[in-house]
Amino acid sequence: MGRKTRIALKAGIWTACLLPLAFLIYWAAIGDLTVNPIDFITRTLGDWTMRILLASLALTPLRILTGAAWPVACRRLLGLFAFFYAALHFGVWIVLDHFFDWPEMLADILKRRYITVGMLALVLLLPLAATSTNGMVRRLGGKTWQRLHRLVYCAGVLAVLHYLWLAKVGFIAPYVYAAILTILLGVRLWGAFRRRLRESRGRPAMAQNVTASGARPLRTPPS
Ligand code: HEM
């Protein structure tokens, strides 16, 4: 992917991800946040957290299915925007919903299961956001970093549960998100299975190299 394409792609992501927030600020400025502004702001931010989180989770499956490299280049930025919206969503809950009433918030986290799992999802996203820099990738090492960042799938599952448990019975949106997440996880697992299969097919050839030459095995090119 060329430099110009990469810049255009990132500019597109910045614009798309900041637009919902710009609209919220605009509606607040003109006093058009519905009759229940706190609920409207919380729900709008929650919706966008979910959408951006799922979009970030869709990028690796997209690469698996198409072989294109560009989805990987967008992963970190989308992941950070998902965290940004989750933090705003949480911030509104702390400041506008509970006015920093810590005992009440703790009781809410323990009492309401949808708050418990929402909180867990946010806590899981925290180390991912904190280790998103190139420096942290180097410090942790590629493998450890990759393993840590698989936590994003757990955050996705918890986020869907959060929505399923808070939504009214019969409300369709959380089920749509659950179905999308299931498909994305399915593609991811299928990709991992396919890679393992290729690796295990390559292994006997490497073993033959050892017995034939008695030397260290040569690397077999991927099939
Ligand atoms: C990754 C983390 C999270 C995601 C993806 C998420 C997503 C959502 C979604 C999709 C909604 C429903 C929006 C709608 O009805 O249109 C929602 C509502 C809500 N969320 Fe979250 N959320 C997350 C974390 C949290 C956390 C940490 C808290 C508080 C501790 C929280 C508190 C709430 C509340 C109070 C509502 C509104 C419930 C109601 O009005 O009945 N969420 N969230």
Interatomic CA distance for residues 154 and 175, integer angstroms: 17
The pLDDT tens digits of the residues spanning 116-133 come to: 999 999 999 999 999 999
Report the 10 Å Cβ neighbour count for 130: 10
Query: Are 38 and 92 within 8 A, CB to CB?
Result: yes
Interatomic CA distance for residues 8 and 14, integer angstroms: 10
The pLDDT tens digits of the residues spanning 145-159 come to: 999 999 999 999 999
Nearest protein Cα to ligand 1, atom 35: 93
What's the 65 CA to ligand 1 centre distance in angstroms? 31
pLDDT > 90: percent of the chain: 83
Where do the structural domains in the chain lie, given as residue ranges?
3-194
Confidence of residue 3 (pLDDT cuts 50, 70, 90): confident
pTM of the predicted protein model: 0.90
Interatomic CA distance for residues 155 and 203, integer angstroms: 34
Nearest protein Cα to ligand 1, atom 8: 46
Residue for token pair 């090119």: 221
Confidence of residue 221 (pLDDT cuts 50, 70, 90): very low
pLDDT at 12 over 70: yes
